[in-house]
Structure 1
């Protein structure tokens, strides 16, 4: 593999918290160091002052294999990820069938390695069939490569079964991902309760449902000592409980969705189903509180929660439409709204979108340190564009940012030192040629 030397770059280092000009060298799939002479025969890439950062680690991506390949395949998800600067996908187990056995996990791991240009790691179901009753074979699934365990958006009402699963996970050191929501209160909800939902006549759920679900999970974590990550904290009322758990020394982290950081309940407008998400979009006060918690470090991870849905499942009355939005290709430009708004710096954003998820999952990615994998994204944070959903490489096009004015274009993406995406035209020029993967080619 040809060595790479990135020069004239703006290096975004989430580990050091720095944003400085410099150069970076990589060889044999790993980072050699910074600000050194390029090795003999290296491919020199002039970044033209653009930002070079660790590739994003997107935690909580829905892929349709097996069972819903018409919505998203490993290949289409991988191409979309590469075009969005995502170098590692952490896939959810809510497939059909669920990823709840070592055999299913080994199958999807093999398929992902064959089809995707980016890295894909899988979470496994915490309970069989994601039904919340009987735990899966957590030890065998760990041996097969599961990075964490979750039932996704299916919240078990059986607290005793959940406590047993957490106890067993604790004994094996496994990370459990919870979806903080009280299932009875949130059942059938399409919006957050309040004046807007009442005016639109939409079935709604109180923000307290998230707090109740989180309080239950944290009590079980305190009882069992399990490692726990709350996938999406989206309301201000959940933050005091999260703060108390961290201050008490519980092994707890939390994430949120880029959509809940950049959109609010009024974006639903006249029943726009591309804005129907799980959990539903919140108030502007909640959005601002979550941004502040992220800036403070109380919330650790930002992810897209990429959930593809075909046209037939979205072109329905709001209550009946499928929930979820694609986000692999829009995660980075949407995050630039927070940067340009002065809420977070680029190192803070990449800490939440690359370093923290990698650290929590025990992965070596997400950093620019010597010896780290050369998983990199080159991007221009100021480049404006109009989002057209039909340009997305995902099979499904259900993005709430369709028609939105965004800033932040990915110029190139590398996985293990191998180029998997290059923007054209506008790609950063290089002084040597080498093999590349054209991420604009169509699905097989």
Structure 2
């Protein structure tokens, strides 16, 4: 659709509504009136409401209605690399994926290390409409790992966290100061856990496949060392520490132990680290070059288990659009990353179907958990809440193709894959920001 649409009365009839935060999982009617959830329950969609002037009625049999999703980790490339993605195309992709909130990483050009860039990003997103954009500011100026940013200014401008994103803060002294400073403002510090001295020149996970392909390997311990060190620093400072895109079974073990001791640590995992192994790189597929790298089956199993039991709090896309300039090249020259905003739901519903992940845990990991980490009001099916919802057809089968993707970039190894599960409608800020196809009858005028 061309832009957000508002309805005075939007009725979801006989839909399976799921909101783990409310303990809700049942077939009910959900009524959204003037952008807010007015009624939830059996029989809420009365004949009078259904026939009201301007009512939009969606027959929900066989469909799921969830709180809209929150992404902790996306790259929207604006300012500076709009040929890969911009805020408009990135938010359109987010809406199509079921997201009402997107946290944008600071590796823009220039780096989002000042109030002015944070404010400009938010203003641009509001001008466009659709899902809300929440910038993440840099930890250090220029992401250079030395001088701390003015975190107070960043938070005041609207930043919800700080991170140096693809550059790990390798100095223990700088990281300690960053945690202490951020704790003053209750800002979570998001770390890309990578000991760069151990990964110099690495192109993929270190293992049998890297040996076979003749590519320099990236050892798990490069991630584990930083996670262990930072958890000790977080414990010492009392700061909120978040691990981006966990990929190793060792990091999972360290996180589980830290949480058992009550340390304020949280973590996220990406769909591609839950569904692919390093074997996907065979053939030198540049779409599978990501940072951190795809790892082995044992790591994938550990990540799935950790997400299911809550050791890993949230799912985040790490949506990283790149143009053919950065991907249609030699593997060693390819930029790391793949897109993900539009593919989370179908890829992870497969884990629900094979019983690797409970549906309620998946919904929580995409909604309340990420919102809690960065201090946002979580989308909810609670009566009185702002209408931020996601309507899902869990049985719709479709093939991932460039034509179906709203992102400017199409860099994903899942092109051509048939998947099951589709987002039919997304509401953000009380308005319909995405609709895949006609799903309802409408009576009267808006």
Partner of 1:173: 186
The alignment partner of 2:440 has SS state of: coil
State the distance in 2 between where 1:169 and 1:295 align: 29
More divergent stretch after superposition (72-81 vs 109-118): 109-118
Moved more, 118-127 or 39-48: 39-48
The aligned residue for residue 3 of structure 2 is none
CA shift, 1:370, in A, is 2.1
Aligned partner of residue 15 in structure 1, secondary structure: helix
What are the Cα deviations for residues 44-94 of structure 1, in whole angstroms up to 9, with x where unaligned? Answer: 221232111111111111011100011101111111111111111111111
Structure 1: tracts of 5 or more residues without a match: 436-444
Work out whether residues 17 and 347 of structure 1, in 8 Å CA contact, stay in contact via their aligned partners in 2. Answer: no
Deviation at 1:37, TM superposition (A): 4.3
Question: Does the Cα contact within 8 Å between 1:7 and 1:23 map onto a contact in 2?
Answer: yes
Answer whether contact 1:182 1:212 (CA < 8 A) is retained: yes
Greater alpha carbon shift after TM alignment, 140-149 vs 155-164: 155-164
Tell me by how many angstroms 1:217 deviates: 0.9
Tell me the equivalent position of 2:359: 346
Describe how 1:11-50 pairs up with structure 2 within 5 A.
Answer: 11-35=17-41, 36-37=44-45, 39=49, 41=53, 42-50=55-63
2:280 to 267, 274, 280: 267
Greater mean deviation of Cα atoms: 69-78 or 109-118: 109-118
Residue 253 of structure 1: aligned partner: 266
Moved >4 Å (runs of 4+): 37-41
CA distance in 2, matches of 1:2, 1:58: 28
CA distance in 2, matches of 1:121, 1:30: 22
The answer on whether the counterparts of 1:79 and 1:116 sit within 8 Å (CA) in structure 2 is no
Deviations 1:185-219 (A, max 9, x none): 12322111111100001111111111111011111
Note the alpha carbon deviations across 1:221-267, whole angstroms, 9 max, x for none.
01211111111211111122111211111111111111100111111
Counterpart in the other structure of 1:226 = 239
Q: Which residue of 1 aligns with 2:4?
A: none
Aligned position for 1:428? 439
**TM-score, normalised by the number of residues in structure 1:** 0.94
Q: Distance in 1 between matches of 2:76 and 2:82?
A: 8
Give the drift of 1:116: 4.3
Aligned position for 1:68: 81
SS of the aligned residue for 2:395 comes to strand
Residue 125 in structure 1 maps to residue 138 in structure 2: yes
Task: Answer yes or no: is 1:359 the counterpart of 2:365.
Answer: no
Aligned runs of 1:295-306 on 2, under 5 Å? 295-306=308-319
Residue 441 (structure 1) aligns with: none
1:236·1:286 contact (CA, 8 Å) conserved in 2?
A: yes
- Pair 434,15 (structure 1): closer, same or farther in 2 beyond 3 Å: farther
Over aligned residue pairs, what C-alpha RMSD do you find?
1.5
Q: Which residue of 2 aligns with 1:370?
A: 383
Aligned partners of 2:169 and 2:191 also within 8 Å = no
Greater shift in the superposed pair: 113-122 or 138-147: 113-122
Q: CA deviation at 1:129?
A: 0.6
Distance 2:359 2:402 in 1: 25
Partner SS for 2:366: helix
The offset of 1:306, in angstroms, is 0.2
Tell whether the 8 Å contact from 1:84 to 1:329 is kept in structure 2 after alignment.
yes
TM-score, scaled relative to structure 2: 0.94
Quote the offset at 1:434 in angstroms. 6.0
1:17 shift after superposition: 4.5
* CA deviation profile, 1:141-176 (whole Å, cap 9, x unmatched): 111111011010101222111211111111221111
Alpha-carbon distance in structure 2 between the residues aligned to 1:331 and 1:379:
12
What CA distance in whole angstroms lies between the structure 2 residues aligned with 1:290 and 1:156? 24
Q: Residue 319 of structure 1: SS of its match in structure 2?
A: helix
Alignment deviations for residues 390-425 of structure 1 (CA, whole Å, 9 cap, x no partner): 32111111012111121111111111231111112x
Are 1:244 and 2:257 counterparts? yes
3-state SS of 1:325 partner: coil
Hey, what's the Cα distance between the residues in 1 that align with 2:364 and 2:407? 26
Indicate whether 1:192 and 2:198 are aligned. Answer: no
Alignment correspondent of 1:400: 413
